[in-house]
Structure 1
Amino acid sequence: MASFYLVAALVALLTVGARGFQLSQRGLFWDDLVIPSFYSGFNPVGGQPTSAMGENSASATPPGVPGISPADPASAQFAAEQLRSALGKTIPDAHASLPERLFTPYDGHLMPGTSALQLAVSRANPLSWHVPAVLIFGLTIVLTIGWFLVARKAIQWGASPGLALIVYTAACVSPFLSSATGWWSAAINALAWQLAAVGILLVGLHAKNRTVALSIAFTGIQLTALLFTEKALSLVAIIATVTWVRAQVQRQPRLLRATIAPAVLTVAWAAWYLSIAGFHDDSEGFAVTTAVPKALATLVLPGMIGGPWVWDRWHPGSPFADLALGIAVPVSLAIVTGLLYLAWRVVSNSTRSTRRAMCVLAMIVGASFAYLAAVLVVMVRARTSTGTTDLLPRTPHYYADWWTFTLVVVLLGGIALSSRRPSDHPPAIPTGRRFSVAAMFLAISATISTVTWTMTWQDDPTREYLANLRQTVVDPQRAGTLSPLLSQPARIDVLSPLLHPFNSINAIAGVPVATHTTQPKVVDDSGRLVDAGVLRVASNKKGTEPQCGTRITAGKPRVVVLDQPLPFGDWTWEFNAAATQDAQVRISMPNGLQSASEVSKRAVTVPVGTELQTQWVRINGVGGTIALEVQGAEGTSVCLGEGAIGPLLPVQQ
């Protein structure tokens, strides 16, 4: 057993070292930036987020930041429509409590625990990678220790040390899991499943646990994992397998009753999940099924021996396997041939009957294929759309739980085929040089894949962008010194426009969307907040009244004409106005392409004082006219001067 411990220690060092290197080069990515705003009640059309930390957390609304309230149903409807436009996402109710929000699926995922953790970390340390990295690194160490304990338990139950070493190594250095742990959102989901699987195995292989204790422990572990990922529904298969193996070895069929409660939990949770998940159906999009064969050859099969070693990445997506088919096909054929040879050796050398060995092997292969098929079916069902490419099935984190499940059933199959009786201490059986060499080869191969996967992020601009965004936007916002900020999308290689409206600077930074401001600023390509101005595309025509321009009186709405019509979009207007007494002006863009209700939903209200002032107002619409309605005491009027309309861009220094 000395070689077992030595190789296991080396594997652990490689695993922890590779994870440390990986995390040192990574940062927040994609869903990590979206989930906090999704669950905090982000308002994309202007207003404070619905408080996720309590109703009294926001004592006052900053100037230029109107809130959505029941008194403004049109604005609330427009906000809801904007949120629903995000690809594949349902949204929490605008006035739901925090628990209700957390139990709303995000992009098909039901993960209240994951969402709560990300929201809490984001609130405490926004746009920072340090806390997620420390948590992922710590959980990696815990998981590595857990797999070592599982391997020791398996040896005590009869598995060969060589098999236990290979399974331990493959589970620790899995390239499928490594890709997930380099991504905060995916890491929580994946590690929750992995830790739950380890917990189930340790409980199931603890000889003194009885039926009731097993049932309670299994159910508790699975329920905890389900709070972090709906993928934990598949843990019932591990529960059933470890219980069946133990019942066979101990000749205690009554132990199978320990699976009843987890099975009931699985069925109930699955029924609930399917009723609220809201999978989209886009039959006109790219069919993921057409990319499966290439994914099997370039990722899935090479990944079984630590591959695929070669990656590519298209901003702002995650890396995908890019092993050349000329290499992938021979490697895949060699792996399949090797697996067939190993199966033949197991059957021919089994101390049990040949029939029993073949049955166990058939169950292992069948279970692995069934799980992989389920992963692919869910991928096809949930991800086939106009926004999908053939790269998706070559993204490794989708297969992390399948690979671990396969390793688990192989390990339990080794126990089922063993002729040794369980013992309280690992027997003094040599690991075998071949197994030690194979384990080290697997560890080195997977470490290479982890390093090359990490290197594909070297030119990613997100880390620097978020660091600057935190310094110039988030920190001033938390200090109360940030002026109202108009909505602006993040650069396209940080967050895709497909995530609109959650790809906005306001959503990422947790800053309320303003409809108007007296200090126009935008975030530049480096992530820094800089002074901005309107690039003139059009302007309202100058009025004819002396010392006033265009006069609009309360109770008498007026339409002003632009010198150029505008295409549909978000525009910033230099609104130069003064009132005879403090009033508000409701601004909209009526046109022949939208109904009155559609125009009304997009209207904004701007306060106007008695001193002439320029305000930069964000308006949404199309056409060559702007409607203004003064809201104030009878006789109140507003004088409107000429002002440019166009996109808000950084001022050239």
Structure 2
Amino acid sequence: MALIVAQLVIRGWLAGTGNFYWDDLILIGRASTQPILSWEFLGHSHDGHFMPAAFLVAGVSTVLAPVTWALPAATLVVLQAIASLAVWRMIRTVVPPAADGTTSRRDLAALGALAFYLFTPMTVAGFVWWAAGLNTLPMQAAMAWIVADAVILVRGDVDPRRARLIVIRSAVVFVVALAFFEKSLFILPVAFAAAVLAARFSDRPPLTVAFVRGRRLWTVLGIVFVAWALAFVSISDATAGEHSISQTAHLVWRSIDNAVVPSLVGGPWDWQRWVPSPPMGFAPVWMIVAGWVLAAALVVVAVRLRTGAIAVLICAALYVVVAQIPVMWNRSSANTALELAQTMRYLPDSALVLTLAAALIIGAPARRDVPAAPRHARVDDTSESPMTALAVPAGLLVGAVLFASSMLSLASYQSSWTDDPTGPYLDNATRALAANRDHRMFDQQLPLEVLLPVAFPENQISHTFGRVSDRPEFGGWTDRLNVLDPAGNLTAGAVTPQRTIVAGRGTCARPELTGPADLRLDGPLLRWRWTLALTYCANRSGEVEFSLDGGSPIRVPVTAGLHAVYVQLDGSGTAVHVRPITAGLALHTGEGRVGEVVDAALLGG
């Protein structure tokens, strides 16, 4: 419990110093513009993911506290707590405590396996990013829980009532995990493999034992698996786009060699970020070599000291490799940067499987030179040779070094993760919008370093701040042109003079425009969304309709007297069409511009 509390304190600090990033804003944008209980929102295929429960949590959070990081950060810490407790339950199920209550080397090794899961850099990237955490943390918790339930069933001595309870709760947990992340489909094969490996010291074939004792569990989970897989295939667009087998292979190898292996020694220590990309870990050659050496040493020790370790190691290695293939295939193309694999956000479940493998090896019988010793005999951890007497202090020393290394990696990651303009931009923009609440604003894009246009329309401020109550209304016209600068501060806007309009021939006393008319431009416009800046003098308040050729007209309120109006129009042509709607309304128009909205400082005004 002390280890878990320590992890949650560290993760709480990491989440508290973070903020929204990329996909988080896409989730917020959709939750701000759609009913959060609608299938349009919950059933959306987000970048190939089918994740209705994650959408629901994001939607509720956005409704309760729009663009406020505290609630998402709290959800991450709570989900991490659930996952960590489930992992400890899994370890303790696979490596049960001694019947007499004493603490053995096996118990200390079990704590070491837990510490690896709690502090390995492999799980950090999947935690600190809200959208990723909503996917992978429920999957980790569910995988650990269902694996433990499967091991309990396979070991036998479970009465029918309890067995039914185990099957029901595992099925519910499986469905919940799938609703957060379709990759949770991997839970079933992992649980089955764990059950087989847990039964490998039985008198009967382990495959038979695992299948027969857990047949109800496998039947129910199998039905859920098939149903959800069919739903995912019919809804998701994960296979869309270009893919490359060669690039997938390179990405998988880069993920293993530059991410998984260095993490075994607590690396990498160097995290770099090229905004708007997430941090990428760059491990030096010596750290990669040290990781491979440690991995080889652990394999040798496990095989020499524990019966049946080879099967566990093969299964764990297969999962770590195979689990990377679908996601890397989905992300692969001829132009995909290999550094994608070094973000490590696809590795948290692999860290859990490695933890499970460690627990299965720790819980296995020790190899004995005595031929008469049964294969399933319990290890006597009380006897000590001079070599085994050094095992505990040596293990504690190695663990302390790896923990320190992991903390160095975490500190570097946190520094890189917080070097991001999104949080300050959102804070500034929230204050700026509140200060401009009384004046309608045009919609505009978020800065490129916050969210790229490929996320349109979720990269519009009307989507990001749609649920914020203290803000102006967004629309196609305004009487005061204000914009948000790249830092999120409110600043005066201006319209570039792609085309100009000359003043009308009338005066305020004798307005010339009393019916439909055309305001001639000094040149043609291509089809686009243009902004009109026009001064006018109205004889009374009312409504006027503006339009371009091929575009929809927009009605704009005007106020009696001398004023300016800014209108966004779709279309093309050589004139702006104007039509007074209010009876008796007449206008005298001054000079005008048609162009793009920019910061007024860029035009020197």
Provide the residue aligned with 2:532 in structure 1.
573
Match of 2:451 among 495, 504, 513: 495
| Residue aligned with 1:137, SS | helix
Q: Which residue of 2 aligns with 1:412?
A: 360
What amino acid maps onto 1:561 in structure 2? R
Q: Which amino acid aligns with 2:515?
A: T
Tell me the residue number matched to 2:214: 256
- Secondary structure (helix, strand or coil) at the match of 1:193 reads helix
Q: Please say if 1:553 is aligned against 2:505.
A: no
Counterpart position of 1:309: 269
- Pick from 347, 350, 365 the counterpart of residue 303 of structure 2: 347
Rate the CA distance shift 1:318–1:412 in 2: closer, same or farther, 3 A: same
Task: Pick closer, same or farther for the CA change 1:603–1:391 going to 2, 3 Å.
Answer: farther
Cα gap change, 1:35/1:607 in structure 2, threshold over 3 Å: closer, same or farther? same
| Residue in 1 that maps onto 2:102 | none
- Counterpart of 1:37? 29
SS state at 1:456 partner? helix
Secondary structure of 1:391's aligned partner: helix
Partner of 1:644: 593
How many residue pairs match? The answer is 561
Amino acid paired to 1:171: Y
After TM superposition, list the pairs within 5 Å mapping 1:155-166 onto structure 2: 155-156=95-96, 160-166=106-112
Deviations along 1:43-102, one digit per CA (max 9) or x if unpaired, are: xxxxxxx5x26xxxxxxxxxxxxxxxxxxxxxxxxxxxxxxxxxxxxxxxxxxx624421
Shift of 1:439: 2.7
State the SS of the aligned residue for 1:514: coil
- The aligned counterpart of 2:150 is 204
Aligned match of 2:369 = none
Deviations, residues 442-498 of structure 1 (Å, cap 9, x unaligned) = 32222211110011134422222211222222x469xxx442220111222222233
Q: 1:531 to 1:630 in 2, by over 3 A?
A: same
Q: Quote the offset at 1:580 in angstroms.
A: 8.1
Q: Aligned equivalents of 2:319 and 2:297: distance in 1?
A: 19
Pair 1:185 & 2:131 matched? yes
Q: CA deviation at 1:530?
A: 3.3
> Shift of the alpha carbon at 1:247?
4.8
SS of 1:376's partner is: helix
Residue 238 of structure 1 aligns with an amino acid whose one-letter code is V
Identity of aligned residues (%): 22
**How far is 1:579 from its partner?**
7.9
Secondary structure of 1:525's partner? Answer: coil
Aligned positions of 1:411-430 closer than 5 A = 411-415=359-363
Matched residues in 1 for 2:220 and 2:439: separation?
55
CA distance in 2, matches of 1:219, 1:413: 27
Which position in structure 1 is the counterpart of 2:93? Answer: 153
| 1:455 maps to which of 405, 415, 434 | 415
Q: Distance in 1 between matches of 2:247 and 2:313?
A: 33
The one-letter code matched in structure 2 to 1:217 is R
Correspondence list, 1:85-484, <5 A: 98-156=38-96, 160-206=106-152, 208=158, 210-248=162-200, 252-253=209-210, 254-257=212-215, 258-279=217-238, 281-283=240-242, 287=247, 289-323=249-283, 327-328=284-285, 330-350=286-306, 352=307, 356-371=308-323, 375-384=324-333, 388-415=336-363, 432-473=392-433, 475=434, 481-484=437-440
Structure 2 counterpart of 1:625: 574
Q: In 1, are the aligned partners of 2:439 and 2:480 still within 8 Å (CA)?
A: yes
Where 1:642 maps in the other structure, the secondary structure is strand
Q: Among 485, 489, 498, which residue is 1:528 paired with?
A: 489
Q: Residue 614 of structure 1: CA displacement? A: 2.3
Instruction: Kindly provide the CA deviation profile for residues 579-621 of structure 1, in whole angstroms up to 9, marking residues without a partner as x.
Output: 8884441412x4xxxxxxxx33x65443456656422112345
Q: State the distance in 1 between where 2:334 and 2:430 align.
A: 34
1:322 alignment partner AA: F
**Closer, same or farther in 2 for the Cα pair 1:218/1:626, shift >3 Å?**
farther
Whether 1:18 aligns to 2:10 is: yes
Q: Is the 8 A contact 1:194 1:401 kept in 2?
A: yes
Distance in 2 (alpha carbons) for counterparts of 1:401 and 1:609:
62
- Tell me, yes or no, if the aligned pair for 2:269 and 2:408 is still in contact at 8 Å: yes
1:585 corresponding residue in structure 2: 545
Contact preservation (8 Å) 1:174, 1:400:
no
Q: Is the 8 A contact 1:559 1:625 kept in 2?
A: no
Describe the SS at the equivalent of 1:486.
coil
- SS, match of residue 489 in structure 1: coil
Q: Report the Cα distance in structure 1 between the residues aligned to 2:542 and 2:487, rounded to whole angstroms.
A: 39
Asked whether the 8 Å contact 2:521–2:576 carries over to 1, the reply is no
User: TM-score if structure 1 supplies the norm length?
Assistant: 0.76
CA distance in 2, matches of 1:581, 1:341: 84
Distance 1:280 1:641 in 2: 55
TM-score w.r.t. structure 2 length?
Answer: 0.82
Residue aligning to 2:372: none
RMSD of aligned residue pairs (Cα, Å): 3.5
Aligned mates of 1:310, 1:581 — CA distance in 2? 63
Distance in 2, matches of 1:516 and 1:385, equals 44
Q: Offset at 1:212?
A: 2.9
Quote the offset at 1:316 in angstroms.
1.8
Unaligned runs of 5+ in 1: 1-7, 42-49, 54-96, 591-598
Instruction: Name the SS for the 1:118 alignment partner.
Output: helix
Q: How far, CA to CA, are the matches of 2:114 and 2:184 in structure 1?
A: 21
* 1:517 paired to 2:478: yes
Name which structure has the greater RCO, CA cutoff 8 Å, separation 6+.
Answer: 1
